[in-house]
Every structure is written in C-alpha cells, then in structure tokens.
Amino acid sequence: MEADGVKIEAHGLTKRFDTVTAVEDLSFTVQAGEVFGLLGPNGAGKTTTIRMLSALVAPTSGEARVAGCRLGYEDQQIRRRIGILTEAPGLYDGLSAERNMAFYARMYDVADIPGQVEKYLRMLGLWERRHELVSQFSKGMRQKLAIARALQHEPEVLFLDEPTSGLDPEMARLVRGFIGELRSQGRTIVLTTHNLDVADRLCDRVGVIRASLLIMDTPRALRQKLFGRSVVFHLGGETAGLAGRLEALPYVQGVQAVETRLVVQLDEPEVHNPEIVRLLVAEGADVQFVGELRRSLEDIYLQIMKASEPNEHG
C-alpha cells in the first residue's frame, strides 16, 4: 500500500559496482506533488539513484517503493507508472518527432496515442514541427521532445536527470519554465541537476548526496540551518562603533561591518528589525535600506561540500 501522499520511499538504498560504492545507505521520501532535487558533484550517485528508483538498476541492498510499487518485486509496474528523462535525450534520429512519440506511446500502452502525442507536442511547442526528423532538431528541441515523451503516458512520478544540462541559457530557461508549469500542475518530480539556480527555483526540497545523503531539507530551511538569517542595514555613513552596540543586544548572533553596511545575524528579523532600526537612528546613523540577505543555493551547496570533504578522504 502506498503511504498517504507518499510517492517515493527509499530506505537504505545502496549500490555497489565491484569495489566502487556508488550509493550508500540512502533514505528519503518524496510526497505527492513535491519537486525533489538531488544535488551532488559528478559521480555522487545521482544518476545511479534515479536508475535504481526507475527499476533500471537493482540496488545491492535496501528497499524502496515507487508510486506504490515495491522495487525489485513490481518493476514492470514501476516502469509503467514513472516517466524518465535520461541524461541523454535518447531519441531516434531517423524518425520524426511524432513517430518518436508514437513509438514510446506504444511501449507504454497509451490508449489514445494520437491524442496524447498531440497534447504533449503542443504543450512543448513542437506540434508544428512534428513531421521533421529529430536529426534536424537543436539540442533544446530534443530535450523538450524527450520531456514530452516522458510525460505522454501521464506518469505518477517524473524523473528528470540533468534537464538543463548542455542547453544554452535561453533554452535552459524555457525548459526550466516548463518544469515550473509541471510543478504548478502538482506533478511529483525528482530531478538531478548541477544548475543550483534551477534547483533553488523549482525544488520544494533538496537532498545533497555524495554517495550517501549529506543533508536534506527545503532550500529555505537549509539556508537557515547553515547560515542563519541575516539582515543587511545600509547606512548613509560610517559604521564605526555601531557593530559593537548591536553585538551587545541579546538576540543578535553576530554582526559584520562591510563598508557602509552592517550584516546582522538574527533568528527573528520580523520581531527585532524595528528595534535595531530605532537603536541605529538613536545613535545618529542614517538608515537607508533594510533587507534580508538571501544566500544562494550555491553558497549552501559549497558549504556542504566543504564540510563533507574530510569524510571523503577519511
């Protein structure tokens, strides 16, 4: 039985290739309608994890349920219920876009093949070019066609392995926009990416892996966990002496003076910002702007990778 709203449950998934451990003791869940991002450096085991969950590669140990089906026991059912965009689009160059779609629709036993093919080719903006051979398509168009192919049998879970890899910025933006649309439709998506901006914009939660899971949470919670919340006070003049005054406040966790700015770490900026502003004004400072410092997911990722390095060599 599928747990309430849970589309993926992985417990202790491990994959070894001879002496190499690609994935070790990986456990996580993905809720229905959630976009979950798997981040990690090259060789971290992201693709292997997706291959295991897609029933393409058998785990060495551990267990998982995908779309309510038990991995290793109901693999055919899993394949039927998921859609996958592999790292390479893997399209047949000698066939038209429409024939590529129709071929895969047959592989998935789609009932209304012409209808579904048209629906998704239109959705991805490829309907007008449906008769063209895929060999004539640009990389971005191939990627869009591969996404359409992965969706046309209406899978319960969609796996996207590096969906924006190798695309120019414009095409990457288009693909990212489409994934955003899928997200708003409530699709359950697991994506791997090196593009942390994509993960930041699209993922409800991210898991950072390096063979095993290093950390997993929402991007916002990770920011708070690793860096706390920081507020920047832009002042009209010198900050001398002000940093010390703020540090004396019991709720301030740290203060950094950078030119005419004060970066203050706080737990609850909504509560304490007004008090700090009053104090700064009382001290004669001209407060020009106040804003929360938003750490990028890249900052978070690099911090996690840095912290995990001793383990890697240990």
Partner 1 sequence: MDKIRALVAKEWAEVFRNRFVVFAVAFMPLVLTAIPLVILYSLAAGGEGPGLPLDDISLQLSALCEGLPASACGQYVIVTQFMPMFLIMPVIIPITIASYSIVGEKTTRTLEPLLATPITTLELLLGKGFAAALPAILATWGSFFIFVIGALVMGLQQAVIDKFFDPLWLLAILLVGPLLAVAAVSLAVMISSRTSEPRVAEQISGLLILPIVGLVVAQTTGFILLDTALILWIVLFLTLLDAGLIFFAIQLFQRESILTRWK
Applying CB under 8 A, the residues found at the interface with partner 1 are 17, 51, 54-58, 76, 79-80, 82, 84, 86, 88, 90-95, 99, 102-104, 106-109, 146, 149-150
Of 57, 49, 16, nearest to 30 by C-alpha is 49
User: 134-140, long-range: CB within 8 Å, 24+ apart, which pairs?
Assistant: 134/91, 134/92, 134/93, 134/94, 134/95, 134/96, 134/97, 134/100, 135/93, 135/94, 137/91, 137/97, 138/171, 139/166, 139/167, 139/171, 140/167, 140/168, 140/170, 140/171, 140/174, 140/175
Q: For residue 134, what are its two tokens?
A: 């895929």
Supply the minimum distance, in Å, between the C-beta of residue 66 and partner 1: 12
Supply the minimum distance, in Å, between the C-beta of residue 31 and partner 1: 23
159 contacts: CB under 8 Å, gap ≥ 6: 50, 53, 54, 82, 83, 84, 85, 150, 189, 190, 191
Asked if residues 135 and 94 have their Cβ atoms less than 8 Å apart, the reply is: yes
Supply the minimum distance, in Å, between the C-beta of residue 9 and partner 1: 20
Supply the minimum distance, in Å, between the C-beta of residue 170 and partner 1: 24
Supply the minimum distance, in Å, between the C-beta of residue 310 and partner 1: 29
Going from the C-alpha of 251 to that of each of 246, 256, 267, 289, 291, the distances in angstroms are 9, 15, 7, 21, 18
Going from the C-alpha of 252 to that of each of 5, 131, 139, 189, the distances in angstroms are 40, 64, 50, 39
Task: Report the residue number, 94 or 115, with the smaller CB distance to partner 1.
Answer: 94
Task: Report the residue number, 88 or 271, with the smaller CB distance to partner 1.
Answer: 88
What is the CB-side half-sphere exposure of residue 181 using CA atoms within 13 A? 12
Task: Report the residue number, 102 or 280, with the smaller CB distance to partner 1.
Answer: 102
Task: Report the residue number, 48 or 308, with the smaller CB distance to partner 1.
Answer: 48
| CA distance linking residue 4 with residue 215, whole number of Å | 24
* Partners of residue 289 on adjacent β-strands: 234
Supply the minimum distance, in Å, between the C-beta of residue 259 and partner 1: 51
Task: Report the residue number, 58 or 302, with the smaller CB distance to partner 1.
Answer: 58
Supply the minimum distance, in Å, between the C-beta of residue 158 and partner 1: 12
Supply the minimum distance, in Å, between the C-beta of residue 204 and partner 1: 24
Task: Report the residue number, 6 or 56, with the smaller CB distance to partner 1.
Answer: 56
253 contacts: CB under 8 Å, gap ≥ 6: 228, 265, 266, 267
Task: Report the residue number, 15 or 295, with the smaller CB distance to partner 1.
Answer: 15
Task: Report the residue number, 103 or 251, with the smaller CB distance to partner 1.
Answer: 103
Residue that the structure tokens 């994935």 belong to: 23
